[in-house]
Amino acid sequence: GDSVTQMEGPVTLSEEAFLTINCTYTATGYPSLFWYVQYPGEGLQLLLKATKADDKGSNKGFEATYRKETTSFHLEKGSVQVSDSAVYFCALKTTSGTYKYIFGTGTRLKVLA
């Protein structure tokens, strides 16, 4: 079945460091891909999305490119801030039958000042 695999956390970085959180997926067809962010005590918020191969989603300095050939959607940011500390979830929306969202296990990011 469809699945999402993302890197284990926690990831601890210093402020202004470069961030990469890896995400790969297994799916039939061409799913839409998402990154969600969860701040402490809150629900998930959409960070960015891509709906077809080679699309680049971007928001708040974060970017991710839909790579069909490597079935990946890695999240990157050139310079993280303390306020980026949160849990990040990679997700896909299935394309077959009744549409469902499948989430990865989440990666906790901690940014130190």
Partner 1 sequence: NAGVTQTPKFQVLKTGQSMTLQCAQDMNHEYMSWYRQDPGMGLRLIHYSVGAGITDQGEVPNGYNVSRSTTEDFPLRLLSAAPSQTSVYFCASSYSFGTSPTEAFFGQGTRLTVV
Interface residues with partner 1 (CB under 8 A)?
A: 4, 32, 34, 36, 41-46, 49, 89, 93, 95, 98-106
Nearest distance from C-beta of residue 69 to partner 1, angstroms: 23
Give whichever of 17 and 65 is closer to partner 1, judged by the CB atom.
Answer: 65
Dmax of the chain from CA atoms?
A: 47
Nearest distance from C-beta of residue 77 to partner 1, angstroms: 20
Nearest distance from C-beta of residue 113 to partner 1, angstroms: 27
Q: Is the dihedral of CA 55, 1, 105, 9 positive or negative?
A: negative
Q: What is the CA radius of gyration of the chain?
A: 14
Half-sphere exposure of 63 toward its Cβ, with a 13 Å CA cutoff? 10
Nearest distance from C-beta of residue 79 to partner 1, angstroms: 26
Residue showing tokens 């490119």: 65
Give whichever of 80 and 91 is closer to partner 1, judged by the CB atom.
Answer: 91
For residue 85, which amino acid is it? Answer: S
Give whichever of 6 and 19 is closer to partner 1, judged by the CB atom.
Answer: 6
